Amino acid sequence: MKNNTINKEEIEKFSKIAEEWWDPEGKFKPLHKFNPIRISYIKDNIIQTLEIENKRKPLENIRILDIGCGGGLLSEPLTRLGAEVTAIDASSKNIEIAKLHAKKNNLKINYKCTSPEKLDSNLKFDVILNMEIIEHVENVDFFLGSCEKLLKKNGIMFVATLNKTLKSYLFAIIGAEYILRWLPIGTHDWEKFVRPEDLIKNLEKYNFRLDALNGMKFNLIKDQWSISKDKSINYIGKFIKN
């Protein structure tokens, strides 16, 4: 369907393991390890682009839309940094878990079970996050077009995903799912991975210009992620809406 970005199989896959979102040793352990580097990248780039002066809550009054928020692993820390976060996910189970966890931590986050094309396009955000989501949606082109309608002029969109390379197949699927068992088998479909040049071309069509493109690399010895020049597996792009 042209007017729908929800892939039911993908939603069911994540709904089944939704209970484990906040367990750092559970099924989402890789995301917990990944999270610190994602948070600092987003925060630092927002501060730099919007020329925010250093303060205790640097993202105060910044309206962020977190798409495919899962259990709220990014939404919560960004709220603590002062952002006004609206977080959406097509899995009602994920939203249920996220709401519960935010309530427990006295955090005000606007959680909704929906997808970007169903949000009111009169809502305009300063920042949109598409973190590890485009490789799970139906119709990437329509999805990105729906995001554009929700972003302010000169707003920032972050897109993090997996490159479509032999290396990403070997590491992200064979290595992470079958050998290391970091992720449940079947979490990723290599056919859905997106090359950076295809993403850039697609977003240019919707009036976005690329501002930064970085790789993200995992160091097995240090057991931690870092920003890297190597974009052959994971990468993150920062795009500005013209």
Under 8 Å between Cβ of 60 and 84: no
Helix, strand and coil percent figures for the chain, each rounded to 5: 40, 25, 40
Mean pLDDT of the chain: 92
| Residue that the structure tokens 């079970």 belong to | 113
* The dihedral sign for the CA sequence 93, 30, 214, 57: positive
Residue 173 domain flag: yes
Residue 197 domain flag: yes
CATH code, domain with 208? 3.40.50.150
- 240 - beta bridge partners? 156, 209
Report residue 227 as tokens. 């920003």
| pLDDT given for residue 223 in this prediction | 86
| pLDDT given for residue 113 in this prediction | 97
Read off the pLDDT of residues 88-126 as tens digits, 9 standing for 90 and up.
Answer: 999 999 999 999 999 999 999 999 999 999 999 888 999
Which structural domain, as residue segments, surrounds residue 87?
Answer: 8-241
Residue 3 domain flag: no
Q: Helix (H, G, I), strand (E, B), or coil: what is residue 3?
A: coil
Q: Report the alpha-carbon distance of residue 194 to residue 208 in Å, rounded.
A: 17
Residue 48 domain flag: yes
Task: Tell me how many domains the chain contains.
Answer: 1
